[in-house]
Amino acid sequence: MLPLSLLKTAQGHPMLVELKNGETYNGHLVNCDTWMNIHLREVICTSKDGDRFWRMPECYIRGNTIKYLRVPDEVIDKVQEETKSRTDRKPPGVGRGRGRGGREDGPGGRPAKGIGRGIDEGGARGQGGSRGGRGGLGGNRGAGRGRG
Amino acid sequence: MSGRKETVLDLAKFVDKGVQVKLSGGRQVTGTLKGYDQLLNLVLDEAVESVCRGTAVMLVSPTDGTDEIENPFLQPDGA
């Protein structure tokens, strides 16, 4: 269970946020991001020493000022369910690899390349034998000429 | 959807409204929000500090509707 997935699951739920400076904020989580910046609604702010309180309709809290968050137990249960269902339908990564391999073996590309190379090398330098052979008809002809 | 979905809270709704900004280091600024960017750099009008560096911004909340209240966590006896 990742901290941020827990936080994401807690969206819409009440939660407590304590900042590094000791202030706490109780409110409903509206939104959060990967920096743990959070947006709370219907917030009650408690001062560091716990003797003053403020109500605010909403607030934005920068993630790096957070000391810790408390979330209700049902959120913990919910995130466990979600991670379980995610591992259950884990897709095998084989399909895509096979598909790509098949495409490269297609009939278009390689013979054309082979013909070109076979004629060139075979004709000019007379060593088309091994390389030109792959190219099919053109390559073979080139190799023959080189030897003769 | 607007182009900037970077921030969790869309500060557009606070523009020209009173906001309270707490900065790391303990200072606090209230003023009228005139502008902002994705990094949470803020332009505040009629505030103690007129430009706040985004990385120092710890908390933003509207002043409208923010009041000091009695301890709401104290339950009356028997409740």
For B3-62, the pLDDT digits (tens) are 445 678 888 889 999 999 988 887 888 899 999 988 888 888 888 665 666 677 888 888
Q: What are the structural domain ranges in chain B?
A: 20-62
Of B40, B61, B69, the CB nearest to A59: B61
| Residues A24/B34, Cβ–Cβ less than 8 Å | no
Count of domains for chain A: 1
A34 contacts chain B (CB < 8 A): no
Tokens of A2: 């990742």
Q: What is the CATH number of the domain that holds A75?
A: 2.30.30.100
CATH class of B20-62: mainly beta
Q: Give how far A106 is from chain B: nearest CA, Å.
A: 42
Q: Domain residues for A75?
A: 12-87
Interface of B to A at Cβ within 8 Å reads 6-9, 11, 24, 26, 40, 57-62, 64-72
E-strand ranges in B1-79 read 18-23, 28-36, 42-45, 51-52, 57-62, 67-69
Tokens of B59: 């908390």
| Residues A132/A118, Cβ–Cβ less than 8 Å | yes
**Residue at A121 is within a domain:** no
Q: Which residues of A touch B72 (CB under 8 A)?
A: 44, 53, 55
**Residue at A31 is within a domain:** yes
pLDDT of residue B53: 67
The residues, ordered by sequence, that sit 6+ positions from A144 with a Cβ below 8 Å of its Cβ are: A122
**Residue at A95 is within a domain:** no
**Residue at A129 is within a domain:** no
Using 50, 70 and 90 to split pLDDT, how confident is the model at B63? confident
Using 50, 70 and 90 to split pLDDT, how confident is the model at A118? very low
Helical residues (DSSP H) of chain A, grouped into ranges? 3-9, 73-88, 94-104, 109-125, 129-133, 137-147
Closest residue, chain B, to A50 (C-alpha): B71
Mean pLDDT on A13-37: 94
Q: Give how far A26 is from chain B: nearest CA, Å.
A: 11
For A35-68, the pLDDT digits (tens) are 999 999 999 999 999 999 999 999 999 999 999 9
| Residues B57/A62, Cβ–Cβ less than 8 Å | yes
Q: Which residues of B touch A52 (CB under 8 A)?
A: 68
Return the higher-pLDDT residue of A70 and A107.
A70
For testing contact with chain B, the best of A43, A49, A54, A60 (most B CBs within 10 A): A60
Q: Identify which of A75, A18, A86 has the alpha carbon closest to the alpha carbon of residue A47.
A: A18
